[in-house]
Amino acid sequence: MSRLVMKFGGTSVANLDRIRNVARHVKREVDAGHDVAVVVSAMAGKTNELVAWCRDASSMHDAREYDAVVASGEQITSGLLAIALQALGIQARSWQGWQIPIRTSDAHASARILEIDGSELISRFTERKEVAVIAGFQGISPQTGRITTLGRGGSDTSAVAIAAAIRADRCDIYTDVDGVYTTDPRVVSKARRLDRIAFEDMLELASQGAKVLQVRSVELGMTQNMPIFVRSSFDAPEEIDPHGTPPGTLICGEEDIMESHVVTGIAFSKDEAQISVRQIEDKPGVAASIFVPLADANINVDMIVQNVSEDGKTTDLTFTVPASDHARAKETITRAKDMIGYARLDSATDVAKISVIGSGMRSHAGVAAQAFKALSDKGINIRAITTSEIKFSLLIDTAYTELAVRTLHTLYGLDQT
């Protein structure tokens, strides 16, 4: 017998029929003798609707009241799933984040989990064999006693944190895909599902555009050494052996992977904007004069490339920001022009970032060089390059995104065999 956390996303609980399907998945694990806690998201589209209501009520709404509103979506789902489980003869109770409690910071709409007391959940497993159905995405601030939310995708983080708090054997993330793929199968038909992937590789994939898991949930899994299993909620519950290994991807420590490939996967993002600050005086502090104002404006900067002129007196700085922050970033740099002292500001939104990820790069030379040649052969120009120990990212024109991903996917032997 083991202890499991099962997390179900919005598409998995989109309506009552799907909630009943989720209940059958949970019943399968309970009947197999497992202790089970379930974490649920709001029904598909419900959070967007609640957010829109807040914005319609006031464009300058109170963040504390925003959290009170948007947290209600998960509360509804948790109650409905508890009712569906009870209808199947399963002892179940719904829990809101504040009832456990899940203690968080007071940064409303983007709170971070500080502590979870799992003792009451564990005692109910032991004494009542009761399934805990927990509203994801939310907690409570000890300072204010108010409901907080963890940001979009926060139910994944809730699930991994609860799994660590109740000392679960595994955290199963049920979603509308049957695992983590080498790249987006909608772009590359030959993409294959990975049986296992290291936390570090998954963290890079998630942060570089893969949308299977929230980045913070992977970080938490890695720090807590909590195995995460990504699997499909649309597999027939009755056809799955609860003692076997169903289709899916296990995210685990690198030491638990028998054989790692040089390249694990390829992520891409079209949500990018490129900004170039031209002809800045090349002197100490010039980078700070650009990036400190951007940080103060809460604008995340990703790729950074600096070019020095032939005479060594001026420099160009090129960097990327999320496309949604493009206008604000330009405005921020323009306001700081006198302090920076640049001659020209150029920008573009027709760019995409391609990231090649793999722990095996640590011990293999020339991996990036192969990509440069392969893309050159396809006539694809590279605007910027950044590298790290297990990843390199390339900035290219958006029009070439799919061609670049397919080319690199084949180059590194990731196509299905």
211 is annotated as contributing to ligand binding: yes
The position carrying tokens 């002809």 is 279
Is 391 annotated to bind a ligand? Reply is: no
31 assigned ligand-binding residue = no
| 398 annotated as a binding-site residue | no
Alpha helices by DSSP H, listed for 179-283, are 199-207, 215-224
Helix (H, G, I), strand (E, B) or coil at 185: coil
Q: How far is CA 125 from the centre of its chain?
A: 30
Sheet of strand 170-175, all strands in order from the earlier edge strand to the far edge: 92-95, 131-135, 35-40, 3-8, 170-175, 228-232, 249-252, 196-198
234 annotated as belonging to a binding site for a ligand: no
- Please list the alpha-helical segments (H only) found in 32-118: 46-57, 63-70, 72-87
Write the single-letter amino acid at 291.
F
Tokens of 23: 């209940």
Distance, CA of 396 to CA of 77 (rounded, Å): 42
Please check if 407 is assigned to a binding site.
Answer: no
Angle 128-131-137 from CA coordinates, rounded to 5° = 140
Q: Helix 215-224 crosses helix 154-165 at what angle (to 10 degrees)?
A: 20
Question: Which residues contact residue 250 at a Cβ distance below 8 angstroms, ignoring those fewer than 6 apart?
Answer: 195, 196, 197, 227, 228, 229, 256
Relative to beta strand 102-104, strand 249-252 is unpaired
Q: Is 145 exposed, middle or buried (0-12, 13-18, 19+ CB in 10 A)?
A: exposed
Is 69 labelled a binding residue? Answer: no
- Residue 10 marked as a ligand binder: yes
Cβ atoms 144, 108 nearer than 8 A: no
- Beta-bridged to residue 104, according to DSSP, are 113
Q: Residue 180 has which token pair?
A: 């983590």
Q: Per the annotation, does 27 bind a ligand?
A: no
What is d(CA 38, CA 23) in angstroms, rounded to the nearest whole number? 10
For residue 102, give both structure tokens: 């899940």
Neighbours of 274 (CB within 10 A): 22
CB 74 within 8 A of CB 112: no
Burial 10-42 (b: 16+ CB within 10 A, else e): bbbbbeeebbbbbbebbbbbbeeebbbbbbbbb
Is residue 7 marked as binding?
A: yes
User: What is the DSSP-derived secondary structure letter of residue 193?
Assistant: B
In the annotated binding site, the residues are: 7-10, 47, 74, 175-176, 181, 186, 211-212
Annotated binding-site ranges for ATP = 7-10, 175-176, 181, 186, 211-212
Binding residues for substrate, by number, are 47, 74
